[in-house]
Structure 1
Amino acid sequence: MRLMKGLFLIALGASLGVAHAADEQSRPGPQCYGASFGSTKVDTSVAAPRLAPSGTFEQEAAFDKEASGKLEVRNKQLVSVPPEIERIRKGYTSSFVGGGLNNGLSEWFGIDLERHLVVQVVRRSYTSRDPMMRPFSDVDLVKNPHVIARKWQSDSWSEEEVVLLSQGQPGDLALFVCSANALWAHHQPLPNPVTDPPSLPLMSDTLSAYIYLLDFGKDQSEVLLKRASGGDPVDTAAKVVRSHAGVIDW
């Protein structure tokens, strides 16, 4: 059964026009019946990129296989958005910041279509000053030999994040692009942040959350965004991509 499923995904990926060139940096992104990601866009939001086109990413080393399986203790606080998520220029990003019983827990998930990568990040934070936060142990690198881990702590605060990069499956990525293109081309009223602020239940265990498609312009001077929601076809397609990636056991 697993063999048949694998053969089906390989055949489907080929039929949808997925590239299989050896050079990951130069090969084209996954396509949906010949259409590239975001080929038609309507009702998009525009944002300025966080880094200039010539800027360098802090964590280039995170893409070095020799960096995996190690815990790096840092001398400064972790950046607000993990660099592996920040690096995504074309694809999908989601974020979850916990509140209530999940206070101190943050998670990010991304699909990097330029590098055909699946990015997963889990971050835990703790301070004894917050009774809702729970202390945590360092990630077990024996159970997670392929992750990248970073930690920072002061007298009153500690935080650690664990990053797992996995190769996306061709068929999964092609199906994701098909779903994403339908959302890019869908007329969607943009929310007014003043009259339509995001709302969460008063006692929610989620402090904030978002799901976005994103695509940097050709000159990298702006970012086009399209908001998605949990349970959307795009979200479902992203979960399929994630289901065939590795898992962080922490």
Structure 2
Amino acid sequence: MKKILLGLGLALVSFTSWSACDYNFDATQADIQSQGSERFTSVNGSEVSYNTTLANKVYVAMSKSIFNTILSNPDSTTAYNSLTGDKILNTSGIQAFEFKIKVPEIKNNTTMLNIFPIMAGGKMANGENMNIMISYQKLGSTNSFYVNTAFAKNIGQVIQLPVQNTADGYQRIGIYLNQNSNQLGVIFNGVNKGYIDTYPSKLKNIFYSIGSNYTNMTATDVGKEIRIKLLLDSVDLLKMYPTGTTDICGNMI
């Protein structure tokens, strides 16, 4: 019997070690439309996309559990400042996640294309919320990503990341949370930008959501694809993080 139990225990450890670290943007079209936006036209787990049209659009993706929490908040304008994340974080060590983003070349200077915001946020140990916001804007000569933190009482440091030419056409933004020193670092297309901000208390949990919109689209730029994928599993993350970094599920990168 002891041998059987030991075998089962080892199997469980093995399964846990190798199980995928993932996230599901499973809020439905009806859910998102009830709040005045559209669900991304393609949603596959943690990957979303759409193609531009002449009609102005606002797209949103989030998990069903986070949608239900927002829906239960009597003031939807402040809901993001009080959300408890649906993924539990270790409050020590360094943990990382990434977004892999494909943005098209927009030729018309009057068209505005935004990814606003990609949000990763949750509850800190002090009871307050922290939101990490990744945004993108293409308008005229502006063609950049921006990363910053936001708290209930202030907006943190903002870092600008101009779009680069990459071999696969994707921009990769990595975020790493040093829960020992309460610092947030950024890696952009394989280059470590270092720590850009400090947060006041350990982040206990995290959720993710994605928003994107465009206005004044012209026929020249119709049909172009915007694709965004949240990468959580250690096997998918860049190998550029500080020594000892894990994914948010605790798997070593």
TM-score by length of 2: 0.23
Higher helix share: 1
Higher strand share: 2
TM-score by length of 1: 0.23
